Amino acid sequence: MKKIEAFIRHESFDAIRDRLATMGLPSMSVSEVKGSGRQQGYTESYRGAKTTIFLRPKLKLEMAVDDGDVDRAVDAILELAHTGEPGDGKIFIFTIDDAIRVRTGERGEVVLAPHEGAHT
């Protein structure tokens, strides 16, 4: 199992969520974050005062997936998050040691599979 952690633009999220769901990968967590990549802060004037902005809003998309789903999930995110402009984001991939479904106590990859009665 791997965890995909993708920092993406807000504008790209709906298309990414729809595509992943269509691919059978609807399980995810999303948070609003502020971050910076390699660029230094940029300076803009606000009411006559120059302010340097270091952090920009991004979405953090987190997904635990089977090893066999990593490449196609990442390909979908890459295709739909890419504009070619700075700030398109980054994707990090981690190895997951274990996963546990709290309701049943099941462990491992079975926790990621579709199951009867899934509605949320």
| Residue 58 found at the interface with ligand ATP (CB under 6 A) | yes
Contact between 2 and ligand ATP per CB under 6 A: no
Does residue number 36 form part of the binding site for ligand ATP (CB under 6 A)?
Answer: yes
Task: Provide the angle, in degrees to the nearest 10, between the axes of the packed helices 70-81 and 13-22.
Answer: 150
Provide the Cα torsion 38, 40, 45, 47; round to 10°: 90
In eight-state DSSP terms, residue 102 is T
Neighbours of 77 (CB within 10 A): 21
Nearer residue to ligand ATP within complex by CB, 36 or 51:
36
Q: Whats the size of the chain, residue-wise?
A: 120
Q: Taking the complex as a whole, how short is the minimal distance between the CB of residue 48 and Mg ion, in angstroms?
A: 28
Interface residue with Mg ion, options 24, 37, 41, 108 (CB under 5 A):
37
Choosing from 10, 82, 90, 107, the residue that interacts with ligand ATP (CB under 6 A) is 90
- Residue 105, helix vs strand vs coil: coil
* Selected range binding Mg ion among 49-57, 68-76, 84-92, 100-108, rule: CB under 5 A: 84-92
Binding residues (CB under 5 A) for Mg ion: these are 37, 39, 86-87
